[in-house]
Amino acid sequence: METTSVDLGFLEPCEPWLLTNKFFRSKVGGKPAWLELKSLPKPDDLLCGQCKEPLGFLCQSAVKSPVPLCVVCGCRGPKLCSRCKSINYCSASHQKLDWKVGHKSVCSEEGITASGTPSGSSSILFPEFEIITEAEEYEPKAKLSEEENMKRQMAELERLKQEGKAGTLDELPEAELDKYSADQLEDKTFDKFKERISEDPEQVLRYERGGKPLWLSPVVPKNIPVCERCTGPRVFEFQIMPQMLNSLNNDQLDWGTLVCYTCEASCDVEGYTEEFVFRQDVLNTDTAKE
């Protein structure tokens, strides 16, 4: 077993007060622990590129705020509940959502009732966990020699012949052969993915800045956009694994892996900036999206 250059992330229950920016910890769920409070993203900066609805916070790597934050998502909250004047929101849609799931029962013109928790966790947020990291230990399996691989393939062919399942290639249409070839490539990629994570099946994050992602299908991004600020290249930094879904209590979410690329030069910015994330799906690789 050898130690690789990859750091693995695992979820651990943790007291919420230990996940604030004061302690600079990686976390999943809850609200962001902003490190810099003067230049928070504006609500319009955090809208989904497809449906234009406000985004929700998923996780952060390595990070109570005096800046008013949205009670739903933890982003800058310039809008105030007009009735109780105690709760901030980033947008009207998040205010409506919070009203439906609980704020209505505690809101009054005198403020929040005794049972209300203006700074508490929202039922809309993902469950909160700390992400702890440790170096990956991995022992690659010995590869079969060309001769051993050929023997294995011949043995499989003989088995198929005996079962009457082996025909000739000219019996298959070209489209079927192309599909078979693509399926074989996809299976090999997924098998490699499963074999690599088998030693640490609970990993939710893989970090290796400048390294290579662990893909689960051959559908990968053809071009990584350059950094919009310095026009330099972006490099792989980390990926979020599908195991994280098991802890989010949300059946509507799904991904194979989320792969994040960041500016190679880590150019200076004021406040916060977008980077590039590629979503690779598990079952239907044709739907992999950026």
Considering only 37-41, 110-114, 133-137, which range has the smallest mean pLDDT? 110-114
| Per-residue confidence (pLDDT) for residue 256, from 0 to 100 | 94
Residue pair 130/18 in contact (Cβ under 8 Å)? The answer is yes
Residue 174 belongs to a domain = yes
Residue type for 234, please? R
Residue 289 has pLDDT above 50, yes or no: no
Model confidence band, residue 224 (pLDDT cutoffs 50, 70, 90): very high
Q: Answer whether residue 229 shows pLDDT above 80.
A: yes
Tell me, yes or no, whether 159 lies in a domain: yes
Rounded-to-integer distance, Cα 22 and Cα 20, Å: 5
Overall domain count for the chain: 1
In 3D space, the residue among 216, 222, 218 whose CA is nearest the CA of residue 243 turns out to be 216
Question: Does residue 168 form part of some domain?
Answer: yes
Would residue 139 count as lying in a domain? no
Mean per-residue pLDDT, 204-218: 94
How confident is residue 166, by pLDDT bands cut at 50, 70 and 90?
Answer: low
Q: Is residue 217 part of a domain?
A: no
What's the whole-number average pLDDT of the chain?
Answer: 81
> What is d(CA 228, CA 144) in angstroms, rounded to the nearest whole number?
45
Give the SS3 label for residue 159. helix
Examine residue 252 and state whether it is found in any structural domain, yes or no: no
**60-69, 211-220, 241-250: which has the minimum mean pLDDT?**
60-69
Residue at token pair 């400048």: 210
Q: Give me the domain span that covers residue 173.
A: 146-188
Q: What is the model's pTM?
A: 0.67
Answer whether residue 258 is part of any domain: no
Average pLDDT over residues 87-109: 84
Calculate mean pLDDT across residues 5-33: 83
**pLDDT confidence of residue 290:** 47
Q: Is the pLDDT of residue 171 over 80?
A: no
Q: Comparing 255 with 100, which gets the higher pLDDT?
A: 255
Whether the per-residue pLDDT at 115 is higher than 60: the answer is no
| pLDDT > 60? residue 269 | yes
Q: Quick one: pLDDT at residue 112?
A: 64
Task: Tell me if 256 is assigned to some domain.
Answer: no
8 Å CB contact between 206 and 273: no
pLDDT at 222 over 60: yes
Across 36-57, average pLDDT: 86
Q: pLDDT-based confidence at 286, cuts 50/70/90? A: very low
pLDDT at residue number 11: 93
Dmax over CA atoms of the chain, in Å, equals: 82
Is residue 206 over pLDDT 90?
yes
The mean per-residue pLDDT over the stretch 58-79 comes to: 74
Q: What is the mean pLDDT of residues 72-92?
A: 84
